[in-house]
Structure 1
Amino acid sequence: MKKTVVITGCSSGFGRAAARLFAWEGWNVVATMRRPEEERDLNTLPNVLVTRLDVQDHGSIASAVEAGIARFGRIDVLVNNAGFGLFGLFEATPPEKVAEQFDVNVFGVMAVTRAILPHFRENKEGVILNVSSGAGVFALPMLSLYCASKFALEGFSEALSYELASQCIVVKIVEPGGVLGTGFGRRSDAEAARTAVLPDYASFVARTREVFAGLRAARLATEDHVAQVIFDAATDGTDQLRYVATEDIKPLVMARRETGEQGYMALMRSRFGAGEVPCGKVLEDG
């Protein structure tokens, strides 16, 4: 009997690539997105159901899960992929955008997970795979809110994995870095364009943008590489929790997880120019 996967955020990026890959591998795929009426590709593939799911609309979540079960009989894997990233200064970001960042990247994942759990418990098995980020392992300036949401997702996923092991349900985390060919950067740039740059931060913002430009130029992985890691993690039959999906972030992941705090912080501060402003005397006098 064919297995079935539900994937959120299939209109572009990792979600679209993963939906294609699972379908090519013979799986039934429930490919969800906010505007399925605009889809012209995935709905031409065999055994793919394209349906609406907006993680901020809980009614659409329940409907998508029900539609997947009605079409294919059962669901075996959930891939929580939908998400976006705010890029900009925390101080200049409106509170409503802060709330949206968490509503999509954290509360949306929780809502979709909650909707599928009764089905997985009834089946006494299931895999939940949450797409995190390198920014859920190490923090980056100008991405404070995105990092905060992904750090929260990492903690939620790890804690949930202990709970759900008692129900024979496995939780996994995939951690990609910057990837060529996704719509993620375009949305982040659009969000940043709406955010003010406070004059006091101007030199820091300019330096940080230079660092990120260098990181973008060094990207080698594509959305298809990440889709393969998602597929492998979902099908490897293990209870491994974390999978680093792109080579470019491995040095920083290792630095965060395998070196001392002082060495790690010195590395990150040197990379982003923190400490170049002569603040020390002010701190001493204070």
Structure 2
Amino acid sequence: MQKSIFITGASSGLGKAAALLFQSKGWHVIATMRQPEKATDLAALENVTVLPLDVTDAQQIKDTVAKVLSIHTIDVVLNNAGYGLIGPLEALTGEQIYTQISTNLSGVIHVCKAFTPYFREKRSGTFINITSTFGLLSYPTCSIYSATKFGIDGFSEALAYELAQFNVQVKVVAPGGMQTDFAGRSLQASTHNAYEQLVAKVSEGYSEEQIAQYTKAEEVAQVIYDAATDGKNQLRYIAGKDAIALYNERLTIGAEEQVRKIKAQFIL
């Protein structure tokens, strides 16, 4: 029997790479995005349904999920939609903070809530929520972005406990740097005069040379596919050499020592 996956933020980057991979494996893909008219290439593929969805709109989430479930069975929900808000906290406006949380964290919560009764009654299903290396540890200028990604990680762990009794799994995929447009279209940067040197130091990690060393979106999509199909009772999947190295370092030397190490890198 053909399986189906519901993906948010599927118009580009990791979401699109995941949609293409699952489609190539014979899955039916429900690819959602804010502007579906920009995904004519996806819509032209066999077994791909493209739908509009803004994850900051809780009512649209309810309506879209209800529409999908009235027509299709869903086996996996991939919460991928999100973007990076980067800058010192002092540089960020209240609207920027609100929109970041609404998109990256609240959107995941509302999508999961909309699908949970369906998975519970079906007594099967998997949520895969995309976090980040910065959902496991953090760096300067990433305070609000990390708040959302740490939030997804904690939310996912708690939800995994709640749904285990119904044979529903919740998994987290935490990528490191990716060779996508995240550092361009999906990154919003703000600065403040008092933090110019710090921002310049952090920005070295977003140089073209550094980005060229990042993991390809297709490689992270493979980790997502593995999480969806490996049958393992596993919560976290770390994706990318940089992410694995940083996470292993935290496990090896401990969180406090790693915090001291990172802080020392940015004391100018």
Contact 1:85 1:187 in 2 (8 A): no
Give the AA of the match of 1:54.
D
Looking at structure 2, the residues matched to 211 and 14 of structure 1 have their Cα atoms a distance apart, in angstroms, of 20
Q: Quick one: distance in 2 between partners of 1:183 and 1:142?
A: 19
1:239, distance to aligned residue in structure 2 (A) = 1.5
Q: Write the mapping of 1:89-108 to structure 2, written as runs, cut at 5 A.
A: 89-108=88-107
Q: Is the 8 A contact 1:175 1:244 kept in 2?
A: yes
**SS in structure 2 opposite 1:2?**
coil
1:262, distance to aligned residue in structure 2 (A): 4.4
Which region of structure 1 is more displaced relative to structure 2, 257-266 or 233-242? 257-266
**Distance across 2 between alignment mates of 1:123 and 1:211:** 44
The residue number in structure 2 matching 1:64 is 64
Q: Unpaired runs of 5+ in structure 2?
A: none
CA contact (8 A) 1:171 1:239 kept: no
Q: Which amino acid aligns with 2:123?
A: K
Equivalenced residues, count: 268
Does the residue aligned with 2:140 lie in a helix, a strand or coil? coil
Question: For structure 1, which runs of at least 5 residues remain unmatched after alignment?
Answer: 277-286
State which structure, 1 or 2, has the greater radius of gyration over its C-alpha atoms: 1
How far off is 1:245 after superposition? 1.0
Once residues 257 and 227 of structure 1 are traced to their aligned partners in structure 2, the CA distance between those partners, rounded to angstroms, is 25
1:248 & 1:200 partners in 2: Cα distance? 29
**Does the C-alpha gap of structure 1 residues 215 and 240 become closer, same or farther in structure 2, counting only changes over 3 Å?**
farther
1:211 Cα deviation after fit: 4.4
Deviations 1:4-53 (A, max 9, x none): 11000001111111111111100111110111122211111111111111
Structure 1 counterpart of 2:182: 184
Q: Quick one: structure 1 residues 214 and 266, their matched pair in 2 at CA, closer, same or farther if it must change by over 3 Å?
A: farther
Of 217, 231, 252, which residue of structure 1 is paired with 2:225? 231
- C-alpha RMSD of the superposition: 1.7
1:264 to 250, 258, 265: 258
Alpha-carbon distance in 2 for matches of 1:211, 1:76: 37
2:201 aligns to what? 207
What is the deviation of 1:183?
A: 2.4
Q: CA deviation at 1:166?
A: 1.3
